[in-house]
């Protein structure tokens, strides 16, 4: 299988879906000549022309709303909001419009669309450009929220998102674009709403998503050198949440730690931990711990930013504390 980057995998998914379905079009800020702020749409205009790859003004309210309208009109827009930080300006279009159409109007119309955006920190972009706001959107029924961790997942999930009949928020991670991995050529689909065990292990379950999955995998390798075999579950989709895969793992390992870049309070790990204790209470040998982003606006200075984002070290530490606790 060819080794390509996460960015190339996304570009490939977009190209394939546009070639497959005439109704798929892309619009957003600087997606044409610039190829997108992160280069994901580069060269697509050459192949599909400006009718299907359109620049927009800096108008997130407008981009959000036009995407909903275009979907109602029979298209399958892939609208780029650039970053999840700007998606707040489209949150009304997403939550009060896209998420409501199907149910509120009696099931007469669905809105198949994808909002692509980058999320996460680590690139020293300071506090308004480094957020992990996915918990805010994942809270809302009527939309789906997808966050791929690998190039292969990026391709397979984006293709499925574009084919989905519902509004899908597709959140990429700034620090993953250059990551390489094996990606199947051509038709390759990963169903939305399915988590994946990225590493098997018997002693503890690490639950993560997006870039944090790589952090969890690194932590698992380190733990393994100390005789602790961690299983790593990559949620991949935050809504609908595939808790079954998590529970199956925890019933085997009896322990869990969640890993996320988002702020801890009211974050993704909170829901995962709650579900685990609700549905696997008697299997737990220890409380579920959460490793999450420090609850501060992310600063520019590298040393401060790094201290605020979970790394393998913090995950290893949290796991060891759990074992120390149960040993004691």
Partner 1 sequence: MEASTVAHIAGSGLDKKTLLNFLHQMLLIRKFEDKSAELYARGKIAGFLHLYNGQEASAVGAISTLSEQDLLITHYRDHGYAIARGMDVNRCMAELLGKATGVAKGRGGSMHFFDASLGMLGGWAIVAGHMPLAVGLGLASNYLAKRQVVLCIFGDGATNNGYFHEALNMAKLWKVPVVFLCENNLYGMGTAVHRASAVVEMIRKAAPYDIPAERVDGMDVLAVRAATAKAVEHARRGDGPYFLEVVTYRFRGHSMADPILYRDKAEVEEWKQRDPIVIFRARLEQEGLLSPQELEQIERETDELVVEAVRFAEESPDPPLTDLYEDIYASP
Ligand X SMILES: Cc1ncc(C[n+]2csc(CCOP(=O)(O)OP(=O)(O)O)c2C)c(N)n1
Helices (H), the chain: 6-20, 44-48, 60-72, 91-92, 101-104, 134-138, 151-163, 211-225, 243-253, 268-279, 302-308, 312-327
Query: Which of partner 1, ligand X, its own copies, none does residue 72 bind (CB under 5 to 8 Å by kind)?
Result: partner 1
Of residues 166 and 258, the one with the C-beta less far from partner 1? 166
96 lies in the site for partner 1, by CB under 8 A? yes
144 lies in the site for partner 1, by CB under 8 A? yes
Of residues 12 and 56, the one with the C-beta less far from ligand X? 56
Q: Are strands 237-239 and 144-146 parallel, antiparallel or unpaired?
A: antiparallel
- Which is it for the CA torsion 9, 155, 165, 20, positive or negative? positive
- 130 Rama sector, left if φ>0, alpha if ψ -120 to 50, beta otherwise: alpha
In the set 93, 133, 158, 219, which binds partner 1 (CB under 8 A)?
93
CB under 8 Å to 61, separation ≥6 — which residues? 89, 90, 92, 93
164 lies in the site for partner 1, by CB under 8 A? yes
Which listed range, 60-68, 245-253, 270-278, 284-292, lies at the site for partner 1 (CB under 8 A)?
A: 60-68
Cβ 264 to its own copies, closest distance in Å? 8
Of residues 252 and 264, the one with the C-beta less far from partner 1? 264
Of residues 29 and 203, the one with the C-beta less far from ligand X? 29
**CA 116 to CA 175: how far, in whole Å?**
16
33 lies in the site for partner 1, by CB under 8 A? yes
Active-site residue list: 60, 129
Assigned token pair, 306: 């790094």
Which residues bind to its own copies, rule: CB under 8 A? 61, 85-86, 88-89, 91-92, 95-96, 99-100, 103-104, 126-128, 131, 133, 135-136, 138-142, 239, 241, 262-263, 265-271, 273-274, 277-279, 281, 284, 286-290, 295-297, 299
Of residues 90 and 195, the one with the C-beta less far from ligand X? 90
**CA 152 to CA 176: how far, in whole Å?**
12
Contact 223, 230 (CB under 8 A): yes
With the CA atoms of 236, 188, 217 and 145 taken in that order, what torsion angle do they form, in degrees rounded to the nearest 10?
A: -10
Residue numbers of the site for ligand X (CB under 6 A)? 29, 58, 60, 82, 86, 89
């Amino acid at each position: 299988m060819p080794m390509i980057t996460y960015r190339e995998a996304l570009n490939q998914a977009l190209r394939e879906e546009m070639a497959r379905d005439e109704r798929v079009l892309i619009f957003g800020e600087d997606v044409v000549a610039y190829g997108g702020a992160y280069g994901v749409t580069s060269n697509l205009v050459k192949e599909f022309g400006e009718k299907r790859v359109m620049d927009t003004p800096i108008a997130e309210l407008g981009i959000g709303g036009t995407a909903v309208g275009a979907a109602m009109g029979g298209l399958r827009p892939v609208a780029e909001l650039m970053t999840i930080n700007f998606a707040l300006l489209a949150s009304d279009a997403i939550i009060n419009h896209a998420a409501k159409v199907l149910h509120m109007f009696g099931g007469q119309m669905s809105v198949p669309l994808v909002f692509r955006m980058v999320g996460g920190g680590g690139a020293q972009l300071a506090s308004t450009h480094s957020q992990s706001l996915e918990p805010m959107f994942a809270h809302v029924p009527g939309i789906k929220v997808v966050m791929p961790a690998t190039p292969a997942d990026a391709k397979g999930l984006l293709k499925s998102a574009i084919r989905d009949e519902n509004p899908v928020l597709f959140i990429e991670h700034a620090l993953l674009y250059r990551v390489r991995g094996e990606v199947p050529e051509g038709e390759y689909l990963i169903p939305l709403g399915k988590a994946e065990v990225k590493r098997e292990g018997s002693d503890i379950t690490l639950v993560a998503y997006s870039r944090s999955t790589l952090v969890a995998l690194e932590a698992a390798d380190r733990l393994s050198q100390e005789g602790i075999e961690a299983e790593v579950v990559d949620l991949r989709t935050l809504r609908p949440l595939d808790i079954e895969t998590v529970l199956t793992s925890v019933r085997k390992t009896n322990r869990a730690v969640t890993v996320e870049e988002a702020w801890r309070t009211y974050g993704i790990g909170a829901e995962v931990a709650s579900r685990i204790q609700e549905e696997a209470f008697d299997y737990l040998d220890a409380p579920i711990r959460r490793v999450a982003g420090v609850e501060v606006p992310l600063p520019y200075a590298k040393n401060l930013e790094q201290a605020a984002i979970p790394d393998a070290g913090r995950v290893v530490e949290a796991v060891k504390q759990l074992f120390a606790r149960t040993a004691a």
